[in-house]
Amino acid sequence: MTRTILLALLLLLGLAAAPFDVAPPAFAQSSNEATDRGVHPNPSRNPSATDEELMRVLGQERLPPDRVQGNVYLPDRKLGVLIQPQGRTWRDFRVTGTRWIHGILLGLAVLAVILLAVLRGRDRYRTDPEGRRILRFRAVDRFVHWMTAVSFILLALTGLNFVFGRTLLQPWMGDGAFSAMSLWGLSVHNAVGFAFLLGILAMAVMWVQDNLFHRVDWVWFRSGALFRKVHAPAEKFNAGQKLIYWGAVLGGLALGVTGVLMMLPISTVGVNGMQWLQGVHTVLAGLMIALIIGHIYLGTWGVEGSFEAMSRGDVDLHWARTHHPLWVEDAYGRRRPDGRFEPAE
């Protein structure tokens, strides 16, 4: 027994002292050597073209009708699709088409504002001689408006960076600074988008009653009040403001839905579905930016006194009688022969 124990101890000591210079398994060596020689474990998935042939195909101005696809060892076989004709079409739209779309829409919006400023001028008003003012927007109305407005401006700036940033900013900012700014811009864009969508939903619920079209709105349209300094009868919102409201609500909801869908995994809608979502999203964004440029002009410099409604909540009584007489009469009382309003019961 003693000899057996001693032999076992000697054997263990010998194993412990032996160096751990163990060669890799034979199959690993053969796999590496096979890969170096261009031979793959599964012959059915061997490359069907050389690197030179692949680069020649990708460099062609027009891709063949079939997709350029290879073999992958991953469960998701779609990852083997390197590029497809629809992908190049989308890339051209993303790189070139969006710049033209946004450039044309922005140019038309600025041109329209300039024409209104030249042809129509600033719509001024006489203040009420007694200094009377009436409430037009509650605090909650102004909060919803400014939350939606600020979030939309942030969305527009960060979104336009993805359209024009590589052309206008990257050359003088440098690759590193532009990349960091774009990453932060994407994070801001995705986060602020939810605040914008919440504001649009609140506007759709709170102001829909005052933005329904009535017969008086057609009178406003026929009067040409948008292009001339005439004051046709109007309710709390005139026909032009109602158009802006519905454009903002419907366009904002569509922007929100497409934006949220683009945040989901690409497998939700597929590659082509994601490309369509981005195309619709960017076109709607350009239209919305052009619409809001006109809204900002008319709500600030174009119509004097309008900005006070959203900045402080109340407006001059004479301004209200001039631009929205039906609203004043309905909300604050009946008109008397002397031009004053009796308090509403």
For 163-189, the pLDDT digits (tens) are: 999 999 999 999 999 999 999 999 999
pLDDT for 224 equals 84
Binning pLDDT at 50, 70 and 90, where does residue 7 land? Answer: low
For 250-281, the pLDDT digits (tens) are: 999 999 999 999 998 877 888 888 999 999 99
Q: What is the largest CA-CA distance in the chain?
A: 130
Binning pLDDT at 50, 70 and 90, where does residue 314 land? Answer: very high
Under DSSP, is residue 81 helix (H, G, I), strand (E, B) or coil?
strand
Is pLDDT above 60 for 13?
no
Which has more pLDDT, 153 or 119? 153
Q: Whose CA is closest to 276, among 90, 79, 101?
A: 90
Is pLDDT above 50 for 28?
no
Which has more pLDDT, 224 or 77? 224
pLDDT for 86 equals 77
Q: Whose CA is closest to 134, among 328, 310, 295?
A: 328
Binning pLDDT at 50, 70 and 90, where does residue 238 land? Answer: very high
CA end-to-end span of the chain: 115
Rounded Cα distance, 52 and 255, in Å: 43
pLDDT for 89 equals 81
Spatial CB neighbours of 168, under 8 Å, sequence gap ≥ 6: none
How large is the average pLDDT for residues 141-167? 96
Under DSSP, is residue 136 helix (H, G, I), strand (E, B) or coil?
coil
Binning pLDDT at 50, 70 and 90, where does residue 34 land? Answer: very low
- Domains in the chain, please, with CATH? 86-332 (1.20.950.20)
Is pLDDT above 90 for 18?
no
pLDDT for 341 equals 47
pLDDT for 15 equals 46
Fill in the DSSP letter of residue 315: E
Is pLDDT above 50 for 31?
no
For 184-237, the pLDDT digits (tens) are: 999 999 999 999 999 999 999 999 999 999 999 999 998 888 787 788 889 999
Locate the DSSP E strands across 22-166: 68-69, 81-83, 133-135
Point out the least confidently predicted range of 62-76, 79-93, 224-238.
62-76
pTM for the predicted model, two decimal places: 0.75
pLDDT for 63 equals 56
Is pLDDT above 90 for 156?
yes
Rounded Cα distance, 29 and 266, in Å: 38
How high does pLDDT run on average in the chain? Answer: 82
pLDDT for 35 equals 46
What token pair was written down for 108? 């038309």
Binning pLDDT at 50, 70 and 90, where does residue 88 land? Answer: confident
pLDDT for 29 equals 40
pLDDT over 70 percentage in the chain: 74
Which has more pLDDT, 96 or 12? 96
Alpha carbon separation from 293 to 110, 290, 322, 336 (Å, rounded): 8, 5, 24, 39
Binning pLDDT at 50, 70 and 90, where does residue 343 land? Answer: very low
